[in-house]
Amino acid sequence: MTVPEDRCRLVLIVPDIADIEQKTKAVTDALRGGDVASVIIPQYGLDDGTFQKHAEKLVPVVQAAGAAALIAGDSRVAGRVKADGLHIAGKFPELAEAVEKFVPKLIVGGGSAADRHSALEIGELRPDYIFFGKLDGDIKPEAHPKNLALGEWWASMIEIPCVVMGGTDPKSALDVALTGAEFVALHAAVFADPAAAPSIVAEVNALLDEKAPRFED
C-alpha cells in the first residue's frame, strides 16, 4: 500500500475485461480520477501466459499513477512484472507461505477471514493488510454487513491495516470508512460503466474527504 493518508483510502479491483487494451484503458482512466492507494489485479479465467501479458500492461499504469500494483495469487507473475505486491485470497497456509517468502520485498496481504477467530490467526502471520470480503463479493449496492462488522472490530483493536470490500454503490465506500477501516475496495462500483470510472473515483474521494473520519497519528 502506498503512503497512508489520514482517512480511509480507495483500493480498486481490476474488472474482468477480456480485451487487454480495453482493460488497460478502463484502469488508466479510473486512476485519473484521483487518489487510489492500490490496485488488485485478479487472474479471472486467463491462462498463466495471458495473465502475465495483461499484468505487464497494467502494472506500469498503476505504478505511474502512484498506486501499488498487487497481483492476485500468482507470485511468479508478480515477480516477472515487477509488481509491488501479492494479494492472497486463498486459505491460511497459502497466505502464511507468501508472507514468509516475500515480506518485506513485496507487499503481501489478503486472507479469507469469515470470522474473528480466523482473522486473528491471519493477524498472527503479520501480513501487510487483511482483506474482509471477496474480490467479487460486491453483489449488492451496500457492503456486506458481516464485513463491515469485522472491519470495525479489527480497526478498533489491531494495528495491521484492513481492507473492506464495498458494494456496487460508490457511496458504500463511506459506510466502510465509518468503521475505521484504512481501505475500501471497489470493483463494480467503479468499473460497471468504464466511461464513468474517473468521475466515480473523483466522487468517492470527495465523499471521503468530506465525511470520512480522520485517523490519529
Using 70 as the pLDDT threshold, list the residues of the chain that sit under it: 1-4, 217
Instruction: Give the three-state DSSP class for 95.
Output: helix
Cell 479469507 belongs to residue: 112
pLDDT tens per residue across span 89-141: 988 999 999 999 999 999 999 988 899 999 999 999 999 999 999 999 999 99
Strand partners, 163: 131, 183
pTM of the model: 0.96
Cell 466515480 belongs to residue: 200
Rounded distance between C-alpha atoms, residue 50 and residue 58, angstroms: 12
pLDDT for the residue 190:
98
pLDDT for the residue 182:
97
Please state the domain extents for the chain: 9-210
Rounded distance between C-alpha atoms, residue 129 and residue 110, angstroms: 6
Which residues lie below 8 Å from residue 173, measured CB to CB, with a gap of 6+?
Answer: 8, 10, 166, 184, 186, 189, 204, 207, 208
pLDDT for the residue 4:
54
**Eight-state DSSP code of residue 144:** P
User: Could you tell me the three cell numbers for 209?
Assistant: 474527504
Rounded distance between C-alpha atoms, residue 102 and residue 105, angstroms: 6
pLDDT for the residue 102:
96
- Residue 14 backbone dihedrals phi, psi, to 5 degrees: -60, 135
pLDDT for the residue 83:
98
User: Could you tell me the three cell numbers for 52?
Assistant: 502475465
Rounded distance between C-alpha atoms, residue 104 and residue 153, angstroms: 26
**Is 9-210 in CATH node 3.20.20.70?**
yes
Cell 462500483 belongs to residue: 189
C-alpha to C-alpha distances, 158 to 110, 150, 176, nearest whole angstrom: 15, 11, 16
Closest CA to 149 of 187, 110, 115, 109: 115
pLDDT for the residue 111:
86
